[in-house]
Amino acid sequence: MVDQAVKQKVDQWLNSSIDEESKQQIRDLQKDPKTLVDAFYKDLEFGTGGLRGIIGIGSNRINKYTIGKATQGLANYLNQSFPGKEIKVAIAHDSRNKSDYFARITAQVLAANNLEVYLFESLRPTPELSFAIRELGCQAGVVITASHNPKEYNGYKAYWQDGAQLVPPHDKNVMAQVNAIENFDQIKFDGDTSLIHTIGAEVDEKYLSMLEKLVVNPKVIQHQNDLKIVYSSIHGTGITMVPEILRRIGFRNVSIVEEQAEPNGDFPTVVYPNPEEQEAMSLALAKAKEIDADLIMATDPDTDRVGIGVKNNLGEFQLLNGNQTGVLLIHYLLDQWKASGKLSNRNYIVKTIVTTDLIDEIASQYEIDCFNTLTGFKWIADIIGKLEGEREFIVGGEESYGYMVGESVRDKDAVASCAILAELVAFCKQNNQTLFDRLISIYQQYGYYRESLISITKPGKSGADEIQEIMHNLRQDPPKSFAGSVISVIKDYQSSQSRDESTGTTESIDLPKSNVLQFLTADGSKISARPSGTEPKIKFYISVRGELPETSDYEVVGSQLENKINQIKQDLTDLTSTTP
C-alpha cells in the first residue's frame, strides 16, 4: 500500500521539470509499490557520513536531482556565509558507478551559482580532497563516494573550509537550505564552465610530500626496504596513491593484487568492497601466502579505511580488526614520539566512544589526553579544529578501520595509515619481533581487550521503523545484565545522561546528542547500541576485558573472552528478537 504522503511526493516529481527519462523511470516504479515507497518515503539526509543512498530515481535515492538539490542548498549556504567574498569549492570522486557524472553535476551547479570550482582531473582518495580544501584555500569541498557500501550505492560528503566534514551548525544549516528548495526549477544546473578548474598533479605532489613527512623512523625503512607487502585497492582510488607513497618512503617490494587494481564501480571480485570483510580480503590473503608476505593491506573504494593482515603467533595469516590496528598504530606513534623526546602534555589523541578503551589506557600510560567523540571522523576533526594552535594532535582512530595521522588532513586517511603501518611492521622486523608479538605484549601490559560487532540490516521504511523500535525498547526496558555480569552504568547519548544503576545518580555527558546507548558491566564489558547514520543498519559493539599474565596464556584467555562475547551476543539476540 502506498500512503498519501508518498503519492504526493511521486506526483510532485512527475509534474516537475525533471527530464522525461526520469519520469518514465518513476512510472516503471509505480508497478512495484514497495520499491516505490522505499524510493520516495523520505528525503535523503546528512548522517555521520553525509548523503548516501542507492543509485536510482526518487527522493530517497542518489540521482541527478538529489545531488543537484544538495549542491544548490550548499551553494546557497556558502553565499550566505561568505557574502561578498570569492568562494572556492574543491570536488573529488571515487570509482563508483556514476561518481564522475555526479561530480560533474556538482561542479556545474556550483559554477551556476558563481562559485569557483576545483575539480580533480580523475578519481582520487577522499583524504586528498580534505587536504586540497586546505591547500587551495577553499571554503568547502565535496566528494562523491559511498565509502565501503555495496555497489548499488553512491553518496555525497560535504566538507567545510577546515577540510572536515560538516558538523553543527553547518550540517543542519545546509539541510535547511536544501529543504527550502521547493521545486527543481530552483536548482541551477547550467554552470559557466570557465569557473570550473582542473586539479592535477601539483596537488598530488603536495599531498604525497606531506605524507612523507609523517614517517618517524626512516632509517628502519632503509634497513627493511625489502619488506614483503601485499596491497589491494579493491577496485578503488587507493591505486592512485598508496603504491606511490610506499615507494617514496623507501619500500621496494610491494606486490599489487592485480585482479583488484583496476578501478571498477561494479567491484567484480567482491560482494562488499569493504576491508572489514574477510571475503573482500581473500585475494590479498592468497597472494600473501604465495609470496610469504610480511604485511597485507587493503583499502576501501575511497581510501579512507584500511584493513591489514599479518602472521599470528601460530604462523598463520590473520586479519586484524579495526580496534587492534588502531591500538598498534597509536601505541607505535606515542612510543616513537616519546623515544625522540617530542611527546609532552601539549599532545593529545582522539577516538570514538565505540572504539576500544585500550587506547584510553595507553594514553594514560603516556600521560597525554585521549578525547572521546561521537562516531564519525567529523567529530575528531572538530576537536582538532577547536584546539588548533593551542595543542598538537598526533593520531586518532575509530574501530571501523579509519585512522588519521597528523593535522594536515581532517578526515580518516588510509594512504597515510598504509605508510605508517608498513613502517611499524618494518620496525618490528628490525627488532626481531612480529606485529602480532607486539600486539600480545600490549595486551600483557595494559589488559587483554577483545571486541566484536553485530550488524543487523533492516532496509527500507519498515526496517527504519524496526530499528527505532529496538532503540525505544532498550531505553524503556533496559537489560539488567550481560553474560551474567550486572550492568553498572547506562549511558544514553540521546538524553546526554549517564546513570549509575547501583545508586541511581546521573551525570551529564558533554557531547552532542546522538541516538546511542551504552551498557557498562561490573566486570568491565561495554556494549554499545547505535543505528548507523549512513546505512540501513543497527550496530551492537561489544568489548570485553581480561588479564594476560603471561604471553603463553594468550590462547586460553582469548578463548575465555570469546566465550563471554558469544554469551553477550546471545543476550542481544534474545533482546532484539523479542521486540514486537
Q: Which residues are annotated as catalytic?
A: 147
| Backbone torsions φ then ψ of 516, nearest 5 degrees | -135, 140
Residue 344 three-state SS: coil
Say which DSSP state 45 is in: -
Beta strands in 375-447 (DSSP E): 392-398, 402-405
**Residue 231 near residue 261 (C-beta atoms within 8 A):** no
291 vs 298: CA distance, rounded Å: 16
Residue 265 three-state SS: coil
- Contacts of 429 by beta carbon, 8 Å cutoff, 6+ apart: 224, 227, 294
Location of C-alpha cell 573504494: 301
The distance of Cα 431 from the centroid of its chain, to the nearest Å, equals 32
User: Among 295, 298, 333, which residue's Cα sits nearest to residue 415?
Assistant: 298
Pairing of the two strands 88-93 and 140-144: parallel
What the block records as the C-alpha cell of 332 is 607505535
Which helix (H) or strand (E) is 108 found in, with range? helix 99-112
**Residue 447 near residue 323 (C-beta atoms within 8 A):** no
Angle (CA) 166-169-175 rounded to 5° is: 70
**Residue 152 near residue 162 (C-beta atoms within 8 A):** no
Beta strands in 479-550 (DSSP E): 481-482, 485-492, 497-500, 506-508, 517-521, 526-531, 537-546
Residue 560 three-state SS: helix
- Contacts of 266 by beta carbon, 8 Å cutoff, 6+ apart: 97, 151, 235
